[in-house]
Amino acid sequence: MTFDQNYSSFLRVQNTAKFQYNGISAGLFQDPIRNQFYDHILKECKGKRCIDVGSGSGMLAFIALKHGAKHVTCFEQNPKSASHIRNAAKRMKLSKKITVINDEFRASKYNSYGLKNIDLIFHEVIGSYIWNETMHSSFDVPLPIRIIPSYYDIRFSILNLTQDQYNELINLEVSPTLSEPFNLGIDLPSEFSEYYQDVIKSTSYLYHSPAHILDIQKHAFNLLKSFYDVNQMQLVGTHRFDINDHEHYKTRRVIQFKLPQTDDPYLIVIRPFFYCSEDLVFDFKIMSAFTGYYRPIIVPPQSCHRAFRYRIFENDMKIDKLWIK
């Protein structure tokens, strides 16, 4: 039996992707805010034997070693990524301080790994909606070893939209290039392109799908930001989860709150706050894999949804009975 057959369903699907993954996440090297967050919290690794869960490029392991970790065991399920970590460690002359295990980490299988004297576990398995990558499968049961990042707040807010604002977002989502000036590449009077530009602007490309996570790229960042700056955001709930508090595995598995009863469109904005300590909080209100702030859930007009529910360990986010994807 291969490791892959033992993987969670999420990773089995990921590993069967048709494209050829080269084992490198370019986004990690272009996300200084996230990297600065880890550079701060991994100071706690000094003098400790650590586990890095979901190592990817191994950046966090090397940050931990920079801060004086005795040894880091890297769990990385992708064989190419695991190979990159070994190669980078060799070039950096750190091979003796890093062990790479090409497998998915599961807390419920911890005793089978044969690891001894581990002081600290750190991870980088947080997705856009906090628990929607592999967090719920990696840390499926509580562990007696301290884990960092350890706790965070997720704040859920409602942002009411006008019909025009909703139309702008949906049009950009469906047809992002239509908002850009024409480049015909041929010589025709300007009146031609001006006329058809007006036609497109006056035509609705809207698809009134059920509530879904808004999928707009960087070209729409400023538009969404302008709505945040102008529209009033209403806080509807805050959920705290501490991965080192075993009671939270029982009592805080579900996030739920009522939705406004309105015919108007609105956004559900999810904003995480990660704690390094009681007095030091990282607010990831940025375009980043850490946050849903710029990938909100968009609720179309006349939906009249009643409740939001997110079972974080089951990776199950729903509005009423509608699964959000």
Q: Taking all residues of the chain, what is their mean pLDDT, rounded to a whole number?
A: 82
Q: What structural domains does the chain harbor? A: 3-124 (3.40.50.150), 155-323 (no CATH)
Q: Pull the structure tokens for residue 132.
A: 């929607």
Give the separation between CA 202 and CA 185, rounded to whole angstroms.
24
pLDDT given at position 214: 82
Q: How many helices and strands (H and E) does the chain possess? A: 10, 15
User: What is the tens place of the pLDDT at every residue in 244-265?
Assistant: 999 998 999 899 999 999 999 9
| Percentage above 90 pLDDT, the chain | 40
For residue 6, pLDDT over 60 is answered with no
Q: Pull the structure tokens for residue 270.
A: 């999810």
For residue 33, pLDDT over 80 is answered with no
For residue 282, pLDDT over 50 is answered with yes
Give the separation between CA 112 and CA 95, rounded to whole angstroms.
24
Q: 50 vs 18, which has greater pLDDT?
A: 50
**182-196: burial string, b at 16+ Cβ within 10 Å, e else:** eeeeeeeeeeeeeee
Determine the average pLDDT of the residues in 14-38: 65
**How many CA atoms within 13 Å lie on the side-chain side of 317?**
16
pLDDT given at position 300: 93
pTM value is 0.75
pLDDT given at position 103: 92
| Percentage above 70 pLDDT, the chain | 77
Q: What is the DSSP letter of 18?
A: S
pLDDT given at position 272: 78
Determine the average pLDDT of the residues in 128-155: 80
User: What is the tens place of the pLDDT at every residue in 196-249?
Assistant: 877 766 666 666 778 888 877 666 778 888 999 989 899 998 888 888 999 998
User: What is the tens place of the pLDDT at every residue in 93-130?
Assistant: 999 999 999 998 999 999 999 999 999 999 876 655 56
Determine the average pLDDT of the residues in 305-322: 88
274 Cα distance to chain centroid: 13
pLDDT given at position 143: 95
Pick the most confident of 49-58, 63-72, 205-214. 63-72
Nearest residue to 136 (alpha-carbon basis) of 100, 113, 104, 112: 104
pLDDT given at position 285: 63
Longest dimension (CA), the chain: 76
Q: 253 vs 9, which has greater pLDDT?
A: 253
Q: How confident is the model at residue 53 (pLDDT cuts 50, 70, 90)?
A: very high
225-230 contacts: CB < 8 A, separation 24 or more?
A: 225/294, 227/159, 227/161, 227/165, 227/267, 228/159, 228/269
Q: 185 vs 93, which has greater pLDDT?
A: 93
Q: 212 vs 173, which has greater pLDDT?
A: 212
Determine the average pLDDT of the residues in 74-86: 92
